[in-house]
Structure 1
Amino acid sequence: MNFETLKSIMLLILICFSLLLTVGLWNYQPSLDEREKGSLVEETTIGGKEAQISSLIAPSQFVFHKNGEHYSFKNGKDREDTYEVMKNWTLFNVQPIDNSGVPEEGRMMEVIFPTNIPAQTIKNLFNFGDQNFTPPVGEFKRIFFTFNDNGGVDVFFKPELEDATAFRASLRSENIYKLEELLAADEGLREQTMFTGNGEKRIFLPETPVEVHSHIMDTTTLPITPLKNTLFEDPSIVRNFPAPRAEQRLTDGLGNLEVTEGWKRMIFTELLLGESSSQVAMSSFEVLERSISFINAHQGWTDTFRIGDLSASNTSVTYQMYQKDLPVLASDDDIHTIEVNYQNGEEQRYARPLVRLEPSINESKGNHELPSGKKVIAVIQESRLYNIKLIEDIKIGYKLVEQSGGYGGYSLIPAWFVLENGSWKEITGLTEDKGGLSSAVGSN
């Protein structure tokens, strides 16, 4: 083979390779995943915030016990401010004790939470300085601050169940003066009456009628694409299928995301988790930590939310929306809660609002006078609509009612609610609220 023939063969090979490369480039279409790789990194947040345990756990009420009488803040802002002060207090000598009942001191402060709180969160709610503190295992719903014979303050963390473990701690002496100041104050407090039900309840309600503002709220719709990118393992294979009573149904065969009518709420469900024979147990603290990290991953705290219900037995957590320092306990379109359920250690169901609320620029505040706690107790005891044995709590909250006209706004209306067998419902049969435009105060 001469040199000219060899050059011709090499040239032919190069031409063929070039043609093959050209055809390959013409026919190459990057997959959806590759084309959107950059955007998927960016489009995984819905524009809210990240949150910490200490901001999501907050008391529903402070009760100051003074010689047989009970007082709570008139204004929810005072409750919020006092909680921020309390979180700076330093505890020491935390240890488990028998749950021997409610302290009977004539002068003490009781802090009530909306649900059982994992005892491991004590380290997130208080200071411990340079102590080598190991958080205890257990739960609590109330904290009692009592004075002992030595001039110090004992702190008791009490669960609801009498046979569960309680915890005791001591308060640093430099923080005692603030507790004394809170118990000595009269301004900004409202006297409370205690509802005991069948003798096992401990629910504090205002002695006198309460005035609370109503508000008008506008909404902003949240994007669905970041949620799709976050919740599905491979968003490129997700397809949209029609579904009854839904705006949109996205699925990859393993998970299902449905957007409710009106684009106000979404529910994501993992379809195959229940098929595993092995069950992974989770503590309430694990459910709490895991759910916060899960929602933080897409900056899902789009309004003010706080823990409303936490269940280790159901491996679920519900975060309640708060507006104007009060919980939102009912809403049209069910947009007032974020719920996460776990199965086999994985997120099995995630339900949340797809709107963000903000005060309307056209808002005119109305004033509602709600009946006294004594009136509420009388109605509950006389009505056949309520089972006293199943009542867990009674409080003032807001309901979100969609405004007419279809522009997406809501009225934020105060009302009395009862928590019965795990569900909040508005109390009916009370005196009609009074309208007006006067200055109002907060809740009980």
Structure 2
Amino acid sequence: MGMKRMELLKTILLSTLVTLSLLLTWNVWSYQPASDPYDESETTVENVAIADERNSSELIQPSRFLVHGEVAVSGTSDETNINTLTSLMEEWNIYNVQQNYSFNEEEFQDIVHGSNRIEVLYPAEIPFSAYRDILNFENSSLPEDAFDRVVIDLSGQDDTPFTLYFVHYENRVIYEGRVDATHLEELNNQIVSGAATAYSPYFAHDTGERFIYLPVERREYLKYLYKMSTIDINLFRRALFQDPDAVTMNQFGASRDQYFDQSSNLMEVDRNNNTLSYVNPSAELSTVGRAGELFQKSRRFVNEHEGWVDTYYLYNLDAMDQEVTYRMHEQGLPVFNDNGAAEIYQEWGETRIHQYARSFLSKQVEIPVESDRVSIGSGYEAIEAIESIEDYEPERLQDVTVGYYMTKNSTDNTYTLDPVWYYKYNGSWARVPVIGGGDPVGLE
């Protein structure tokens, strides 16, 4: 009887072990690790690589620089010249950065536009925290502020440190720092000494609010024709939606598609203009934030899906409205398009992106153009045309530059880039009208 009880116990134990083993095997097979809670500050969900990542120095570039001599001013927006200057600046160590409070309006204009200095202009406000990624600062902490030009003062003694001024022109705010005199010789040799022959003569146009420096003479610019390729929209769908497989797509006619999910996130694709717009309606709108944080999160956001193509530079940074625009550039000049096909625009909420609008074009090949040189009027002619605009108010004029007007030629995705004058008026860019002909074409 004892033997039978023992056999029965063995059988029960064996059955239990088999059952337990089956349960454990089932748990291993069916086990899914708990995913990390979704970080709502990150929109990118899948690890999508569209094109490239970019660092701060690849996205921040001056629009031009001016060499103020004893009498004459020479200027250039040429990419090669700008790269020569910025390469020299990257070798510097900047120290003793502090705010300068001791100036009146006349002294302010002299600091920025006086003789014996190089004035380096940026198209957007540049936060100090982003500039630290480009130049070497010895200060452990830098101002929580931004500037739109750097002035290199060459008026001191050759053997003493020279001064850099970081200027926010509109707000009349100046910070200054020092650079060792050892860098002066190379700066004079490469930038200053040959300025009158290497660059174009510029004149100052006074709007009452600011001085805008423009070329004295007409100049020829190259015209470009590019065959463009388009980025696969599915890459953006995978990058921008939390659950790409749960996204519904509706077609509106032959050229407009809408993608949306249960969270009401919406991506609209315009195939005629090769642009897309993504909106996350649940992102709480933010009124004010720091310029440095805004720039860094806008850069990281595009880096997360490696969404940088061609040459895009920071062109507008608005910490008040939490808006950022990166603009396509050609040979150092900004490219504009009436339908947004030359820019990457972001609007941010408190922690998440609210709107992301961009081109999904990428340059494929340059096509030779028969008449590839275009003569552009002088700065005087540009100002005359601007002043002829109805209801023009001089103090609202903020900038004037030659840029490229990008237009689509047909359905084959070839685009022409024509050099024309642009002006920034009351916060918006537009083409300078031809005198006697029609209204200017507004952009942005």
| Category of TM-score, reference length = shorter chain | 0.7 to 0.9
Letter in 2 for 1:178: E
Deviation for aligned residue 1:223: 1.4
1:77 aligns with 2:80: yes
Deviation for aligned residue 1:218: 0.8
Deviation for aligned residue 1:362: 5.0
What residue is the counterpart of 1:56 in the other structure?
59
SS in 1 for 2:223: strand
SS in 1 for 2:387: helix
The match for 1:302 among 282, 295, 309 is 309
1:253 aligns with 2:263: yes
Aligned mates of 1:226, 1:329 — CA distance in 2:
25
Aligned mates of 2:89, 2:164 — CA distance in 1:
12
Aligned mates of 2:11, 2:166 — CA distance in 1:
90
Letter in 2 for 1:176: L
Aligned mates of 1:148, 1:187 — CA distance in 2:
21
Aligned mates of 1:237, 1:398 — CA distance in 2:
40
1:378 aligns with 2:384: yes
Residues 382-419 of structure 1: CA deviation (Å, up to 9, x unaligned)? 33264322211100000111113x21110111100111
CA pair 85-256 structure 1, distance change in 2 beyond 3 A: same
Deviation for aligned residue 1:150: 4.1
Aligned mates of 1:132, 1:208 — CA distance in 2:
42
1:413 aligns with 2:421: no
The match for 2:209 among 150, 175, 200 is 200
Aligned mates of 1:400, 1:291 — CA distance in 2:
25
The match for 1:425 among 391, 407, 430 is 430
What residue is the counterpart of 1:183 in the other structure?
192
SS in 1 for 2:186: helix
Contact 2:77 2:332 survives alignment (8 Å): no
Residues 302-343 of structure 1: CA deviation (Å, up to 9, x unaligned)? 111001000010101000101222110234x42100011011
What residue is the counterpart of 1:437 in the other structure?
none
Aligned mates of 2:266, 2:70 — CA distance in 1:
57
What residue is the counterpart of 1:358 in the other structure?
364
Aligned mates of 1:106, 1:9 — CA distance in 2:
100
1:230 aligns with 2:234: no
Letter in 2 for 1:78: N
Matches within 5 A, 1:277-356: 281-331=288-338, 333-356=339-362
CA pair 252-11 structure 1, distance change in 2 beyond 3 A: same
Aligned mates of 1:386, 1:403 — CA distance in 2:
33
1:273 aligns with 2:280: no
Contact 2:269 2:277 survives alignment (8 Å): yes
Deviation for aligned residue 1:11: 13
Deviation for aligned residue 1:7: 12
1:122 aligns with 2:125: no
CA pair 193-358 structure 1, distance change in 2 beyond 3 A: farther
Aligned mates of 2:407, 2:386 — CA distance in 1:
24
Deviation for aligned residue 1:111: 0.6
Alignment length (residue pairs): 409
SS in 2 for 1:88: coil
CA pair 70-292 structure 1, distance change in 2 beyond 3 A: same
CA pair 210-272 structure 1, distance change in 2 beyond 3 A: same
Letter in 1 for 2:265: G
Residues 136-190 of structure 1: CA deviation (Å, up to 9, x unaligned)? 121211211113544431111111234x542111111221112222221133211
Contact 2:249 2:257 survives alignment (8 Å): no
Letter in 2 for 1:173: A
Matches within 5 A, 1:391-410: 391-404=397-410, 406-410=411-415
SS in 2 for 1:241: strand
Unaligned runs of 5+ in 2: 21-29, 36-43, 438-444
Contact 2:322 2:349 survives alignment (8 Å): yes
Contact 2:288 2:321 survives alignment (8 Å): no
1:95 aligns with 2:98: yes
CA RMSD of aligned residues (A): 3.4
Contact 1:69 1:191 survives alignment (8 Å): yes
Aligned mates of 1:385, 1:366 — CA distance in 2:
36
Unaligned runs of 5+ in 1: 18-27, 34-39, 433-444
Deviation for aligned residue 1:357: 1.5
Contact 1:329 1:417 survives alignment (8 Å): no
1:136 aligns with 2:143: yes
CA pair 400-10 structure 1, distance change in 2 beyond 3 A: same
SS in 1 for 2:133: helix
Aligned mates of 1:324, 1:358 — CA distance in 2:
16
The match for 1:66 among 60, 64, 69 is 69
Aligned mates of 2:46, 2:368 — CA distance in 1:
34
TM-score, structure 1 normalization: 0.82
CA pair 345-253 structure 1, distance change in 2 beyond 3 A: closer
Aligned mates of 1:265, 1:294 — CA distance in 2:
18
Q: Could you tell which deviates more after superposition, 131-140 or 319-328?
A: 131-140
SS in 2 for 1:125: coil
Calculate percent identity across the aligned residue pairs: 22
